Amino acid sequence: MKLIKIPAKNALGKTQGTQLAPDKLINELEKMGANERGNKKTYLIGKIQTGNDPEQNNKTIYEYMMQNDQKPLIIGGDHSITYPCFKAFSKKFNNPGIVIFDAHPDCVNNFKPPTHEDYLKVLIEEKLVKPQNVIVIGLRAWDKKEYWYLKNNKIKNFPMKNITNMGKEDVCDVVMSAARSFGACYVSIDIDAVDPAFAPGTGYIEPGGLSSRELLYFIQRLKLLKNIKAWDLVEINPKKDINNLTIRLGAKIINEINQKIYNQKNN
Ligand SMILES: [Mn+2]
């Protein structure tokens, strides 16, 4: 697995600061001990140089991802980076699908280049992913047209309310059985899926989210799926963080995603 830093953001002011997250997260990860399985991994680390032009950033990111031959764990940056990353993913694998943790559906408009509020709609409209291969978990804030976009396109989604009613275990069972049918699965984690009490360092504060332990539960189960070929972690904003809580949680998420099971000899 290769950690790929993408310190890019789109032009919207609220994500100003997310470009600082990759370095802070790697720094925190290096200070961390073994994960909950007892593994401590040394990672390959790559970085994509980005600037202020979203079109150019998308092109640079896409080209880098097309050439990358390691399983990536992409560290943003804001959620707009999922667009070029998944676009490359969709060219590499047949029947690609995406599991997304997010408080928001990110289906506001059909902007080109997409911002962090529309990347999912653009992926669907450009037919880079089939609507039936999209699963969104943790929703609790949307505008009306996003709500209907999900409904009309029959996009599987598990709002917070349903997670509370069904229980995370049953939701995770359904998610895993759907994700298993994808030719290849990409998992995208927007940190705002987590309640701001646990992860205050992000642009859009949405109360009523997952606890950090609930998100880790999903990750620890999902990572057992063999068809997961890429992960990303986005929208962490160090400028808005309190007591390093969100950076620390982000680093823990990366530590737990570590998919290799090592025995003592190769540690
Ligand atoms: Mn979000």
Q: How far is the CA of 265 from the centre of ligand 1 (A)?
A: 41
148 lies in a domain?
A: yes
Q: How far is the CA of 78 from the centre of ligand 1 (A)?
A: 9
Whether the predicted pLDDT of 261 surpasses 80: no
Distance in angstroms (rounded) separating the CA atoms of residues 4 and 205: 26
Q: How far is the CA of 134 from the centre of ligand 1 (A)?
A: 16
Domain hosting residue 233, numbered range: 2-261
Q: How far is the CA of 263 from the centre of ligand 1 (A)?
A: 37
Q: How far is the CA of 267 from the centre of ligand 1 (A)?
A: 36
78 lies in a domain?
A: yes
Q: How far is the CA of 120 from the centre of ligand 1 (A)?
A: 11
266 lies in a domain?
A: no
| Sign (positive or negative) of CA dihedral 233, 239, 244, 246 | negative
pTM of the model: 0.95
Whether the predicted pLDDT of 30 surpasses 60: yes
Residues 50-101: tens digit of each pLDDT: 998 999 999 999 999 999 999 999 999 999 999 999 999 999 999 999 999 9
pLDDT at 265: 42
57 lies in a domain?
A: yes
Residues 165-204: tens digit of each pLDDT: 999 999 999 999 999 999 999 999 999 999 999 999 999 9
Residues 15-27: tens digit of each pLDDT: 889 999 999 999 9
Average of per-residue pLDDT across 239-265? 83
Q: How far is the CA of 104 from the centre of ligand 1 (A)?
A: 5
Q: How far is the CA of 92 from the centre of ligand 1 (A)?
A: 26
The proportion of the chain whose per-residue pLDDT surpasses 70, expressed as a percent, equals 96
174 lies in a domain?
A: yes
105 lies in a domain?
A: yes
Is the Cβ–Cβ distance between 234 and 191 less than 8 Å?
yes
pLDDT tier at 259, thresholds 50, 70, 90 = low
Supply the mean pLDDT for the chain. Answer: 93
Q: How far is the CA of 56 from the centre of ligand 1 (A)?
A: 23
267 lies in a domain?
A: no
Domain of 205, CATH number, reads 3.40.800.10
HEC readout, the chain: CEEEEECCCCCCHHHCCHHHHHHHHHHHHHHCCCCCCCCCCCCEEEECCCCCCHHHHHHHHHHHHHHCCCCEEEEECCHHHHHHHHHHHHHHCCCEEEEEECCCCCCCCCCCCCCCCCHHHHHHHCCCCCHHHEEEECCCCCCHHHHHHHHHCCCEEECHHHHHHHCHHHHHHHHHHHHCCCCEEEEEEEHHHECCCCCCCCCCCCCCCECHHHHHHHHHHHCCCCCEEEEEEECCCHHHCCCCHHHHHHHHHHHHHCCCCCCHHHC
194 lies in a domain?
A: yes
Could you give the number of structural domains in the chain? 1
